[in-house]
Structure 1
């Protein structure tokens, strides 16, 4: 019995590390640097962590604690607090926003492959239509692999994830130490308010979705709250440690990039090739040639492909395993001998194929495509966080009906205010993120989320018809 107990408890620092790898990635630092004026991104990151990320993570903790038995994450919280129809919509949103995310992954894999082989930025010159064809082929292969229900993937993803994490931390340490160790000639950073203070203009607010998209997703760790030694005290300690770790990484990562790239003259292809340029320069500083860039490219390739396959299957399972056939047509539940939802995979195949092919007809360069994919993801992905805050508001409204060992705030009204604030902030970021000066991209940014969420309202109608038959 004791043995069982001791193995069960998670320490607060273990939780912080587990959450760190699900929330943060080196790509976030690059995207922030690119869209927020280089070193000016530091203040933007600090603000978003303080006013959004910390309350968000602590709310998730309270819900994880209140609904110990609920396995389905956000949709099961909504089911407990509001009801089945809303729970279905929450589950649908959570699943469907993964479609643009899935469509982004083959691009990342192709870019990584190009860097691993050629070790230069030639991918930016590639014809967008050819890129789309390669990405489509890669995606269809991934669907085939996912249909085989492979269990080894989890291990592969966590291995690639931890390697990427180690590499980004290593990059920061080695970069900051480079001038001292190797006498590397780096950019001089002028330590003044002008260097770091962002301009709070329309561009700042229209790009908020990129920051929100980067820090979201910590609801994945809610199941672990009750596995902690002392949830009431340790969870908030773990989450605040997480926030500090992420802030330190964002700040030091941005400074490292500021030592390589001029903040007032950011390369237009930074989102496509930035991480590779960074590791390539690091290799030059330490006189190891292209060693770092090849290692990073290969890890990224494995990571992107593993996440691609996992994202085709895992969110779909979350939707269908706990779904109600009043809202989802019976045909969607059909499984093959590997336990894979075959019709669900077909639906993913149709939606994602369109998301890969259509942009190729209106976007003329790979760099613009990569930027657009980040943007459309930053508009769609955070829509699922809205449900986290809806669930929290409902939980607070219910008063003492649900017992939670860990509470973010004890006061009902204060809790509701926090929930409403985070909901409004997320919604504002998503709506702002839609704007684009390019008419084609603007239309795509509007159509994509509306069509994806709209499909969710059609499903129950089809389900009702197939039941009546």
Structure 2
């Protein structure tokens, strides 16, 4: 589940497309300054609060305080609603690649509807299907995510063995030559020569590691959580970090960077193009005809589509359940309407149906609402770009209080001293803070002040909503306590 939530196979070909071998050091730096220390924090939190259902909310609430925790968790949850709207439609591009080897969604039409409206209808059906299956229990979700994880693991094996075979057959010659160590530092891409463009890639590399915290809501569902949860997180963190670095290098075995400058190659389809090229170069290295090599390439590209579809499906099932489960299972029940908090078979079924209705409504408005609705949704995406990763700073900062609190039993410890835990928390907070700061100011530096304002507006809006909800909860609890005291006084008299 961690693997399908975090590891994005497409991040490797996209990184090679943007930076060539120059992407590798930034992935290593991002894993050292963010991903691995953050995963270690998750492991310590998870072991300490293994019986808690609220994931990151419970961790922050027990360490830093409930109001702080609620602001960070609500912001985080809202961003996943937008993710579902976005990916619910975008997944059909992957379906098209899996079936036909290319994106044909712009030609699709149901009942005379436009392609945008058709994709909207398919996205609505998809959300309904995922929600229906997810409400049948966590065992169903686990089975689907394990299929997704296996598909991506096999895709990496295709890359690994295909790349090694081509390298051996070509006598150790790389398609993208390595002339000096400098090739690991600078990009062959003319668009990524300035410090500003390199900074934008660092942000891309950091966010490629996002999603670890989603597994937080599954601690109480893990067998022998005290031992297995931190072990799983630690293992996944190291494998993912190494996997990204090796994968980017392997792209250069069979792909020359200059071949990616052709017409029709862009960041959305480059994963299919590069892996198609792997199949073609494999055929050529083993002496197959040009036509057979092309056919092998097309089948590899189709398998990429199928694997990414299965992985995305696995991630979708996890993200449909886990964020909602964390925010409902961990927060005080008085924050929500009574029916939403009701758990059946360990799952907030009613809450999941409400979530599905919200996502479906947004997809419908975006698909059928014309340009105004599309523009509004683009603004929502911008608002949640920062809001999605800002909670990492909340979780990392709360870790300082977690390490200082001697009353919290810590059965699993990676940061042996309080000082090392605090340093790790500061490094992660600074890294994510820097990435978010750059994400906010980057549009303004290119003359798009509007997007910068919307990026700031997102976290501010979610913070205000969280504070209002929490204030209402405090008033409700205050009234409840007053009535309870009054009732007790009457009873005593």
Residue 386 of structure 1 is aligned with which of 387, 390, 393? Answer: 393
What's 1:13 paired with? none
Q: Structure 2-normalised TM-score?
A: 0.74
What's 2:50 paired with? 68
What's 2:319 paired with? 311
Aligned-partner SS, 2:208:
helix
Q: Does 1:161 align with 2:149?
A: yes
Q: Does 1:143 align with 2:127?
A: yes
Residue 435 of structure 2 is aligned with which of 429, 434, 444? Answer: 429
Aligned 8 A contact 2:155 2:307 in 1: no
Aligned 8 A contact 1:212 1:429 in 2: yes
Name the CA distance, whole Å, in 2 between partners of 1:250 and 1:298.
Answer: 20
Instruction: Give the superposition deviation at 1:426.
Output: 0.9
Q: Which runs of 5+ in 2 are unaligned?
A: 187-192, 284-292, 481-493
The 1:226/1:318 distance shift into structure 2, 3 A limit, reads same
Name the CA distance, whole Å, in 1 between partners of 2:370 and 2:265.
Answer: 18
The 1:165/1:362 distance shift into structure 2, 3 A limit, reads farther
Aligned 8 A contact 2:15 2:23 in 1: yes
Q: For 1:117-136, list aligned pairs within 5 A.
A: 117-120=99-102, 132-136=116-120
What's 1:280 paired with? 276
What's 1:322 paired with? 330
Q: Does 1:293 align with 2:298?
A: no
What's 1:457 paired with? 467
The 1:214/1:423 distance shift into structure 2, 3 A limit, reads same
Q: For 1:344-423, list aligned pairs within 5 A.
A: 344-350=355-361, 379-398=386-405, 400-423=406-429
The 1:230/1:120 distance shift into structure 2, 3 A limit, reads closer
Instruction: Give the superposition deviation at 1:273.
Output: 0.7
Larger radius of gyration: 2
Aligned 8 A contact 1:65 1:226 in 2: no
What's 2:68 paired with? 86
The 1:433/1:173 distance shift into structure 2, 3 A limit, reads farther
Instruction: Give the superposition deviation at 1:39.
Output: 1.6
Structure 1 residues 92-101 or 345-354, which shifts more?
A: 345-354
Instruction: Give the superposition deviation at 1:276.
Output: 1.2
What's 1:218 paired with? 212
Structure 1 residues 336-345 or 270-279, which shifts more?
A: 336-345
Instruction: Give the superposition deviation at 1:254.
Output: 1.1
Name the CA distance, whole Å, in 1 between partners of 2:397 and 2:369.
Answer: 33
Aligned 8 A contact 1:97 1:452 in 2: no
Instruction: Give the superposition deviation at 1:274.
Output: 1.5
Name the CA distance, whole Å, in 2 between partners of 1:281 and 1:324.
Answer: 53
Deviations for 1:393-420, whole angstroms, at most 9, x for unmatched residues? 111232x222313323333234223212
Instruction: Give the superposition deviation at 1:170.
Output: 1.9
The 1:265/1:171 distance shift into structure 2, 3 A limit, reads closer
Instruction: Give the superposition deviation at 1:82.
Output: 2.7
The 1:422/1:226 distance shift into structure 2, 3 A limit, reads farther
Alignment coverage as a number of residue pairs: 440
Deviations for 1:161-201, whole angstroms, at most 9, x for unmatched residues? 22122212321331242243488997332331332104671
Q: Does 1:205 align with 2:211?
A: no
The 1:277/1:183 distance shift into structure 2, 3 A limit, reads farther
RMSD in angstroms over aligned alpha carbons?
Answer: 4.2
What's 2:15 paired with? 32
Name the CA distance, whole Å, in 2 between partners of 1:181 and 1:376.
Answer: 49
Name the CA distance, whole Å, in 2 between partners of 1:240 and 1:320.
Answer: 27
Name the CA distance, whole Å, in 2 between partners of 1:456 and 1:135.
Answer: 33
The 1:247/1:40 distance shift into structure 2, 3 A limit, reads same
Q: Which runs of 5+ in 1 are unaligned?
A: 1-17
Structure 1 residues 141-150 or 260-269, which shifts more?
A: 260-269
The 1:239/1:228 distance shift into structure 2, 3 A limit, reads same
Instruction: Give the superposition deviation at 1:87.
Output: 3.0
Instruction: Give the superposition deviation at 1:124.
Output: 8.4
Instruction: Give the superposition deviation at 1:98.
Output: 0.8
Name the CA distance, whole Å, in 2 between partners of 1:441 and 1:393.
Answer: 33
Aligned 8 A contact 2:46 2:226 in 1: no
